[in-house]
Amino acid sequence: MKDSSINILIIEDYPEHIKLVSRMLENCSSQSFNLASAGRLDEGISIIASARFDAILLDLTLPDSYGLEGLEKISSQFPDIPVIVLTALDDESMELQAMQKNSWDYLVKGQINTNLLVHAIRYAIERKKKENELRNANRILSALSESSQAMLYSQNETSYLRQICRIIVKNCGYSAAWVGYRVDDEGKTIRPMAYHGVKHEYMETVCKTWEDSVCGNTPAGMAIRTGKLCLCQNIDSCSWYKPWVQETIEHGYSSAIAIPLKTRDGAFGAITAFSDETNPFTEKEVQMLSEISADLVYGISAIKTRNLQEKTEKELKESERRMAALLNATTESIWLMNTDGCILASNEIAAKRLGLNAEFLKGKIYFDYLPGSVAKTRRHKMEEVINTGKPLRFQDERSGLIFSHSLFPVRDESGNIQSIAVFSNDITDSKRVEEVLQRDKDTLEKMVQEQAHEYSRAQIELERARRLSDIGRLASTVAHELRNPLATIKTAVFNIQRKAGSPLIERHIANINKKILESDAIIQNVLNFSKVKVLNIEKVALKPLLVESCNNISGNYKKNKVSLKEAYLTKDDCVVEGDQSLLQSLFSNILDNAFQSMDKKSGKIDLRVDSSGDNYYEIIIEDNGVGIDEENISKIYEPFFTTRSRGTGLGLSVCREIVERHYGKIDIKSKKGSGTTVKITLPILQLK
């Protein structure tokens, strides 16, 4: 049984070739073909525009076109129809160019048969079909993605609705889209909320009511009225759309779909999309639009909830501000506490008289902040109010001040006492002045002490800076002087090694080379310590830098049985601003320490890179080495402190200096026998 016919257009100016192709297609027993022909390119383009073809066979040598010119024209004007080149030009270069310009196959006349020709046509049609399906799938995904983004980031409902209409037109490829809300008035009108590609006068005349009448028989009206999807694949033949067919077609719309926007209470509106094609709404298209509509309903609800919440919070804050202003306008201390003395609220002067702030005091026990004898007296008076249910006034003295207190019971709806309101007033002006003076004196002494402490600390830091500066200059000079003889020794060892043939001498030379490298590393550490103050700032990608550091350092310990695992948990290259050389020195130093910490030269090291929020990268290097003694952990950043038999003790001091100069943080946690974890935090460069 043959499949449904395939419509083919061959553009060829040589009739014999057309007949040959026709015979080949007729010889196909499994498929029927309808073959049309054109002798010129312009004639072929006219035929394509007026009929439907599944594939086109194109000769490259025509009276009005030569080479790939015709292929480019047809591909640009009719991108949905696959074009197969059928030519006498057996040229691989031309074949490659044709394939690059959207030819789906390149067939050479005289080298094809029925099977090859049919296979090429079928393959081109199927590939084009899959390409169109993939493009449509990508378009749908893009629309759904942008719809979700709009829901997340829209600032208000109107902006959100406009974005959804724009997405339906731009991403989904429809002519126009609009959103209308149901109005429960006498005329059952539809209020346009947002639109894209729709002319305002069209909505004013056609899309204005959802009533059950001829006027309300529009996709939007019916969707709102029935609460069901309304689909019209061909407006010209849609009977219920008759009153508006002519005007709708004049605006360029051939089909329409309206999806109700519903809550549990019914449809509150509809979203409508128009297309200039007939039958454009496939099952997948309808599903996509339904998902966008569902997202739209949720997004509208979320925005309204957010706006209501913001309004409520604003009103609540304003109410609280007014109440606070009222309470703080008096010179009295005002307290509200429950029957156990737990503070529920207070004004600023009340909290200030306890030396605290009102927010801090909420939930605290009032009597805990009073002297013992004063607390005992006031607790007794409050219990008396609770027992008698009557207001009470009394005076007491606290810290040399005489206060007048008024206590009032506060009852709930049942008449039970639920809290006590306390109003306290300082009635000793002279004592109050004395208290203020004493408080100012104490504050001044505290400030003097703090300034003295700060001055002392600054002196210590200055002395430390001077000492480190002297050490740095000395270190730079010594390092420079040591490198010259080391270089001479290294050259001499190289010459001896080149001439020597004894294995024993080779071992000694290798040992000398190892010690030279260790000495050079120590000198480099000293130089880094003396030069770390100068930064060469540039954009640095941490990921490749860490990979290079891991490769370099692990290469120095090839004989060790140490497992180094790297995990980069970010999708980007982790770009920061900094000095690439110093950052590499930082990571190399930490990794080298991790390798050296391994007992019996075996163990494991884990390196992880991840983002910490939106502003920082975290680089964590964790080993299971010997760890650091508890008494030494506080000294690890001190210059020249080391527990090793070799080394300068400058490594971690330099590391901390590098990290701090890059506005980062370094944190080292270690336990003897359990290993060490180094966490470095560096600020993310926000690329624009």
Banded model confidence at residue 603, pLDDT cuts 50, 70, 90? confident
Q: Is residue 322 part of a domain?
A: no
**Residue, of 668 and 519, whose pLDDT is higher:** 668
Residue 642 reports pLDDT greater than 70: no
Residue 356 reports pLDDT greater than 80: yes
Return the closest-CA partner of residue 534 out of 488, 477, 597, 578: 578
Termini Cα distance of the chain: 62
Dig out the tokens for 56 from the structure. Answer: 């086109």
Residue 109 reports pLDDT greater than 90: no
Cβ-proximal residues to 455 (8 Å cutoff; 6+ apart), any chain:
none
Residues 66 and 178 in one domain: no
**CATH number assigned to the domain comprising residue 620:** 3.30.565.10
Residues 538 and 517 in one domain: no
Tally DSSP H helices, then E strands, for the chain. 18, 24
Instruction: Please tell me the distance from the alpha carbon of residue 318 to that of residue 297, in angstroms, as a whole number.
Output: 31
**Residue, of 135 and 279, whose pLDDT is higher:** 279
Give the mean pLDDT of the chain. 83
Q: Is residue 145 part of a domain?
A: no
Residues 15 and 132 in one domain: yes
Distance of CA 440 to CAs 15, 187, 347, 445, Å?
111, 74, 22, 9
pLDDT, position 605: 92
pLDDT, position 391: 93
Instruction: Please tell me the distance from the alpha carbon of residue 143 to that of residue 135, in angstroms, as a whole number.
Output: 12
Side-chain-facing half-sphere of 301: CA atoms under 13 Å: 11
Contact 410, 335 (CB under 8 A): no
Banded model confidence at residue 444, pLDDT cuts 50, 70, 90? confident
Contact 300, 153 (CB under 8 A): no
| Across 649-660, average pLDDT | 78
pLDDT digits (tens, 9 = 90+) for 252-282: 889 999 999 998 889 999 999 999 888 888 8
- For the purposes of burial, counting CB atoms within 10 Å of the CB of 569, is it exposed (0-12), middle (13-18) or buried (19 or more)? exposed
Residues 159 and 301 in one domain: yes
Distance of CA 663 to CAs 3, 680, 687, Å?
71, 11, 18
Query: Can you give the length of the chain in residues?
Result: 688
pLDDT, position 472: 58
Residue 515 reports pLDDT greater than 70: no
| Cβ-based neighbour number of residue 169 at 10 Å | 20
pLDDT, position 649: 47
| Across 434-455, average pLDDT | 79
- For the purposes of burial, counting CB atoms within 10 Å of the CB of 271, is it exposed (0-12), middle (13-18) or buried (19 or more)? buried
Return the closest-CA partner of residue 33 out of 11, 4, 1, 58: 4
Residues 401 and 441 in one domain: no
pLDDT, position 460: 60
Among 256, 272, 307, the domain boundary falls at: 307
Dig out the tokens for 109 from the structure. Answer: 């006349």
pLDDT, position 688: 39
Residue 10 reports pLDDT greater than 60: yes
Q: Is residue 506 part of a domain?
A: yes
Beta strands 3-11; 55-58: pairing state: parallel
Q: Is residue 144 part of a domain?
A: no
Q: Is residue 142 part of a domain?
A: no
Instruction: Please tell me the distance from the alpha carbon of residue 218 to that of residue 270, in angstroms, as a whole number.
Output: 11
AA letter at 169:
V
pLDDT, position 50: 87
Q: Is residue 141 part of a domain?
A: no
Banded model confidence at residue 680, pLDDT cuts 50, 70, 90? very high
Residue 687 reports pLDDT greater than 50: no
Return the closest-CA partner of residue 633 out of 593, 670, 596, 595: 670
Angle at 277 between CA 273 and CA 278, to 5 degrees: 95
- CA torsion sign for 20, 26, 27, 31 is positive
Residue 2 reports pLDDT greater than 50: no
pLDDT, position 353: 84
Residue 511 reports pLDDT greater than 90: no
Q: Is residue 586 part of a domain?
A: yes
pLDDT digits (tens, 9 = 90+) for 288-345: 888 888 888 888 888 888 888 888 889 888 887 887 787 787 888 888 999 999 998 8
Q: Is residue 315 part of a domain?
A: no
- Residue numbers of the domain that contains 87: 3-136
What percentage of the chain exceeds 90 in pLDDT? 19
Residue 1 reports pLDDT greater than 50: no
Residues 215 and 266 in one domain: yes
Task: Please name the helix (run of DSSP H) or strand (run of DSSP E) that holds residue 674, with its range, or none.
Answer: none
| Across 659-683, average pLDDT | 90
Residues 119 and 191 in one domain: no
pLDDT digits (tens, 9 = 90+) for 142-200: 766 777 777 777 778 888 888 888 888 888 888 899 999 999 998 899 998 888 988 77
Residues 386 and 467 in one domain: no
pLDDT, position 475: 60
Return the closest-CA partner of residue 385 out of 341, 332, 327, 334: 341
pLDDT, position 104: 85
Tokens 């219920």 -> residue = 240
**CATH number assigned to the domain comprising residue 349:** 3.30.450.20
Beta strands 401-411; 417-426: pairing state: antiparallel
**CATH number assigned to the domain comprising residue 470:** 1.10.287
Domain count along the chain? 5
| Across 115-143, average pLDDT | 79
Residues 677 and 562 in one domain: yes
Instruction: Please tell me the distance from the alpha carbon of residue 559 to that of residue 606, in angstroms, as a whole number.
Output: 19
pLDDT, position 429: 73
pLDDT, position 390: 92
What is the model's pTM?
0.42
Task: Please name the helix (run of DSSP H) or strand (run of DSSP E) that holds residue 390, with its range, or none.
Answer: none
Residue 686 reports pLDDT greater than 50: yes
Phi, psi of 315 (to 5 degrees): -65, -40
pLDDT, position 501: 64
pLDDT, position 533: 55
**Residue, of 400 and 609, whose pLDDT is higher:** 609
pLDDT digits (tens, 9 = 90+) for 225-244: 999 999 999 988 888 887 78
Residues 51 and 86 in one domain: yes
Distance of CA 358 to CAs 1, 404, 407, 419, Å?
90, 21, 19, 18
Residues 417 and 435 in one domain: no
Residues 112 and 183 in one domain: no
**CATH number assigned to the domain comprising residue 29:** 3.40.50.2300
- Which one-letter DSSP state was computed for residue 189? B
Banded model confidence at residue 204, pLDDT cuts 50, 70, 90? confident
Among 104, 136, 168, the domain boundary falls at: 136
Among 501, 531, 561, the domain boundary falls at: 531
